[in-house]
Amino acid sequence: MISYPNAKINIGLDVLGKRDDGYHNISSIFYPVMSLTDILEIKKSNDFIFTSSGKKIDNNNICVKAFNLFKKEFDISNVNIHLHKRIPICAGLGGGSSDASFTLKMLNDLFNLNLTNEQLKFYALMIGADCPFFIENKPMLVEGVGEKLKNIKLNLDAYDIKVYSSDIKVSTVEAYSLLKSFKNSNLGHNIKKPINTWQENIFNNFEEPIFQLYPKLKEKKRKIIEDGALYCSMTGTGSSIYAIFKK
């Protein structure tokens, strides 16, 4: 069984405040990017095996964490997992979360567990805050720590979405430690405005501190906008930048 875990971009990312449990409440539009994927193969096996190719990753990968969760919860046999990693790592594109969620979905199908999407999202949240989104894998307004998903009408098929990767790796912990204030830009309202107004209305709270730390990212964004992007932003906690162009 083979699948193609895709990346996502954040259209706006408001960090609303820190919770008592140490996590942060956010508001963001998650949008799937089907043109950028990993390749994930899972098949039944006598022994558990995990291998990878492509971009270098830890053998204690999040796919392994996903399998171990289902192995503990359900009566399933061992599997052979191979992950070909193409989505940039520590880049704000959700590659690891996507891999984990696709692993859960594939195990659900492979072993006929018949779990609903709501049940899959429950388990996905145990693995990571961004994971539930990839169970639905469609444009969503994401709130809470990532567990509150609301359907939104947003279709960007008429536009080109380009992702610009960097060799800069930004950890989520580092990014949150740099935040000096919290903002709410009323994202659910502003996303309904024309795309050519998004640059003045939709923001990623992490851009300012990350750009201060890595000025070449700020310069990259400036050049992309000069090249005619309708909207350009850093995604997630960085360091990848994406842009929306007219086709």
- The domain 2-151: what is its CATH number? 3.30.230.10
Give the pLDDT confidence of 122-149 residue by residue, as tens digits.
999 999 999 999 999 999 999 999 889 9
Same topology, domains 2-151 and 159-246? Answer is no
| pLDDT value for 110 | 98
pLDDT for 169-217, tens place per residue?
888 888 999 998 888 889 999 999 999 999 999 999 999 999 999 999 9
Confidence at residue 77, expressed as pLDDT on a 0 to 100 scale: 97
229 with 243: CB under 8 angstroms?
yes
As assigned by CATH, the class of the 159-246 domain is alpha beta
How do residues 15-29 score in pLDDT, each as one tens digit? Answer: 999 999 988 999 999
pLDDT of residue 171: 85
**Token representation of residue 165:** 């990767």
Confidence check: pLDDT of 60 > 90: no
The strand ranges marked E within 59-213 are 79-85, 140-144, 148-151, 159-164
Q: Which residues pair with 27 in a beta bridge?
A: 14, 143
- Residue 28 has what pLDDT? 98
29-52 confidence digits (pLDDT tens)? 999 999 999 999 999 999 999 999
The mean predicted confidence, pLDDT, of the chain is 96
Average pLDDT value for residue range 240-247: 97
> Would you say 1 and 110 are in contact if contact means Cβ atoms under 8 Å apart?
yes
Strand order in the sheet with 148-151: 6-18, 24-37, 140-144, 148-151
The more confidently predicted of residues 115 and 22 is 115
* pLDDT (0 to 100) of residue 20: 92
Q: pLDDT exceeding 90 applies to what percent of the chain?
A: 90
Residue 155 neighbours by CB under 8 Å, 6+ apart: 139
3-state SS, residue 146? coil
- pLDDT the model gives residue 223: 98
Query: What pTM, to 2 d.p., does this model score?
Result: 0.95
Percentage of residues in the chain having pLDDT higher than 70? 100
User: Residue 67: what residue type?
Assistant: F
**pLDDT tens, residue by residue, 64-88:** 999 999 999 999 999 999 999 999 9
Pairwise pLDDT comparison (107 vs 22), residue with the higher score: 107
Q: What is the pLDDT of residue 23?
A: 87
Looking only at the bridges linking them, the beta strands covering 79-85 and 241-246 are: unpaired
In the chain, domain spans: 2-151, 159-246
Please check whether residue 98 is in contact with residue 85, taking contact to mean a CB–CB distance below 8 angstroms. Answer: no
Report the catalytic residues: 8, 130
